């Protein structure tokens, strides 16, 4: 039994079942036993591999997309260059390397990393070398400056509430205790105002998920996007439907009530819920975006200096980022930008 499992079983036994949302929050960010607060989950030796860890091309192409938008919007200075949930810091390091040659971009950029984990903050500091950067817990503490922001696999790491449609209400997924073990169950059906609009497009028995933290994060981003661009890349779809919560440990899925604090727990992102009123948006797949930004040309350029296993790895990484049966279709990209700005490079017209 993990220390967090023991703690949660005692809490639930004393006070009753907890929502899946609260369970996920404890598993991921409990100050002593949380998954992100205590460990380095990335890479072959960890639990999962993210796009920036697969290839430098991911960060390079998205960095140039941000820099092009900055140029298109009149090179505002100073501006905030922010990342949400930077993991090991690899994506920001690749963005900074790729944009070194964009005149004025680095001088005008104030780098902010929004990171909850002290362990990962230390890793990010090392990855960025001497590059000056600020860290914060929340998006609402970012300076009120034009904002160029990226978030890769951040929203999927935020706790969700999960509901099953009853006739005219919703049963919420709860975590309880049975025979001394954590188990999943459901609350009685209740009205949920945040899901009133989903009564028209769902049937009894169907499952939907909502991310309670997302609206205020998006609101804080939107307030700063009088100039700028926010790029969100994640797995998910346009509208939540179905049970998408999964736990991953050492690259294998495990039951979500097993090993709390020692497995990553994620849910697919509902991209429609990330589009605020008053901003323009574009939405596409990761594969289509990287193709439109020129990954084939960049891959070919990098391949010229490689042979043997290094070349094989590079070609496999390119396929993994863009392939329809790999990350290319499952992962989506959303761009938010001011309605009067030029749409960002790589996204198809709305
Ligand atoms: C799946 S990792 C993605 C890492 C990185 N973006 C990448 O692509 O490699 C999620 C990141 O979000 C951070 N994170 C999770 N919940 C957070 C929260 N509520 N506030 C800030 N950071 C959070 C984690 O510590 C981790 O750095």
- Any atom of ligand 1 within 6 Å of the Cβ of 148: no
What is the per-residue pLDDT for 245? Answer: 98
- Any atom of ligand 1 within 6 Å of the Cβ of 145: no
CA of 157 to the centre of ligand 1 (A): 6
Q: Choose among 297, 139, 290: nearest CA to 228.
A: 139
pLDDT along the chain (350 residues), means of 10: 95 98 97 89 82 97 98 98 97 98 98 95 95 96 97 98 95 97 97 93 97 98 98 96 94 93 96 97 98 98 97 97 96 98 95
- The residue whose CA is least distant from atom 13 of ligand 1 is 85
- Any atom of ligand 1 within 6 Å of the Cβ of 116: yes
- The residue whose CA is least distant from atom 2 of ligand 1 is 87
- Beta carbons of 281 and 229 less than 8 angstroms apart: no
- Any atom of ligand 1 within 6 Å of the Cβ of 41: no
The 8 Å CB, 24+ separation contacts for 185-188 are 185/17, 187/17
- Any atom of ligand 1 within 6 Å of the Cβ of 157: yes
- Any atom of ligand 1 within 6 Å of the Cβ of 117: yes
Find tokens 């001088």 and name the residue: 107
Cα–Cα dist 40/38, whole Å: 7
- Any atom of ligand 1 within 6 Å of the Cβ of 36: yes
What is the per-residue pLDDT for 146? Answer: 98
Q: What is the position in ligand 1's atom list of the atom closest to the CA of 85? A: 12
Ordered DSSP codes for 169-222: SEEEEEEEEETTEEEEEEPPPB--GGGGGGGTT--TT-EEEE-TTHHHHHHHHH
Find tokens 């070194």 and name the residue: 100
Q: What is the position in ligand 1's atom list of the atom closest to the CA of 48? A: 1
CA of 304 to the centre of ligand 1 (A): 34
Contacts of residue 268, Cβ cutoff 8 Å, sequence gap at least 6: 156, 209, 235, 236, 237, 240, 244
CA of 85 to the centre of ligand 1 (A): 3
CA of 306 to the centre of ligand 1 (A): 32
What is the per-residue pLDDT for 46? Answer: 80
- Any atom of ligand 1 within 6 Å of the Cβ of 120: yes
- Any atom of ligand 1 within 6 Å of the Cβ of 262: no
- The residue whose CA is least distant from atom 11 of ligand 1 is 85
- Beta carbons of 345 and 242 less than 8 angstroms apart: no
Measured in degrees and rounded to the nearest 5, phi and psi for residue 41 equal: -85, 0
What is the per-residue pLDDT for 40? Answer: 79
- Any atom of ligand 1 within 6 Å of the Cβ of 63: no
What is the per-residue pLDDT for 203? Answer: 96
Residue 127, token pair as written in the block: 């990855």
Cα–Cα dist 179/327, whole Å: 39
- Any atom of ligand 1 within 6 Å of the Cβ of 267: no
CA of 86 to the centre of ligand 1 (A): 6
What is the per-residue pLDDT for 39? Answer: 81
What is the per-residue pLDDT for 283? Answer: 98
- Beta carbons of 150 and 95 less than 8 angstroms apart: yes
Q: What is the position in ligand 1's atom list of the atom closest to the CA of 114? A: 21
CA of 48 to the centre of ligand 1 (A): 13
Alpha helices in 273-307 (DSSP H): 286-292, 295-303
What is the per-residue pLDDT for 113? Answer: 98
């Amino acid at each position: 039994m993990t220390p967090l499992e023991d703690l949660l079983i005692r809490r639930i036994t004393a006070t009753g079942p907890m929502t899946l949302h609260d369970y996920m929050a404890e598993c991921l960010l409990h100050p002593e036993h949380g998954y992100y607060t205590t460990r380095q989950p990335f890479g072959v030796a960890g639990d999962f591999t993210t796009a920036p860890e697969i290839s430098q091309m991911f960060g390079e192409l998205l960095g140039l997309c941000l820099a092009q938008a900055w140029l298109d919007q009149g090179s505002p200075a100073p501006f905030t260059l922010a990342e949400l949930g930077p993991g090991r810091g690899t994506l920001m390091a690749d963005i900074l390397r790729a944009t070194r040659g964009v005149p004025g971009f680095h001088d005008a950029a104030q780098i902010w990393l929004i990171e909850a984990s002290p362990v990962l903050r230390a890793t990010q500091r090392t990855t960025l070398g001497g590059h000056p950067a600020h860290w914060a817990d929340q998006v609402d503490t970012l300076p009120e400056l034009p904002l160029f922001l990226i978030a890769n696999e951040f929203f999927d790491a935020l706790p969700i509430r999960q509901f099953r449609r009853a006739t005219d209400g919703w049963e919420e997924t709860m975590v309880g205790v049975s025979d001394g073990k954590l188990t999943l169950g459901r609350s009685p059906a209740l009205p949920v105002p945040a899901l009133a609009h989903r009564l028209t497009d769902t049937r009894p028995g169907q499952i939907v998920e909502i991310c309670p933290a997302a609206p205020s994060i998006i609101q804080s981003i939107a307030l700063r996007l009088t100039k700028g661009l926010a790029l969100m890349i994640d797995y998910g779809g346009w509208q939540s439907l179905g049970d998408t919560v999964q736990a991953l440990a050492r690259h294998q899925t495990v039951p979500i009530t097993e090993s709390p604090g020692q497995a990553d727990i994620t849910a697919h992102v509902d991209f429609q819920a990330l589009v605020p009123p008053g901003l323009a948006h574009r939405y596409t797949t990761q594969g289509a975006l990287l193709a439109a930004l020129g990954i084939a040309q960049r891959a070919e350029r990098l391949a010229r200096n490689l042979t043997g296993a290094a070349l094989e790895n590079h070609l496999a990484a390119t396929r993994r980022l863009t392939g329809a049966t790999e990350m290319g279709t499952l992962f989506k990209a959303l761009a938010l930008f001011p309605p009067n700005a030029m749409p960002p490079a790589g996204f198809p017209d709305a």
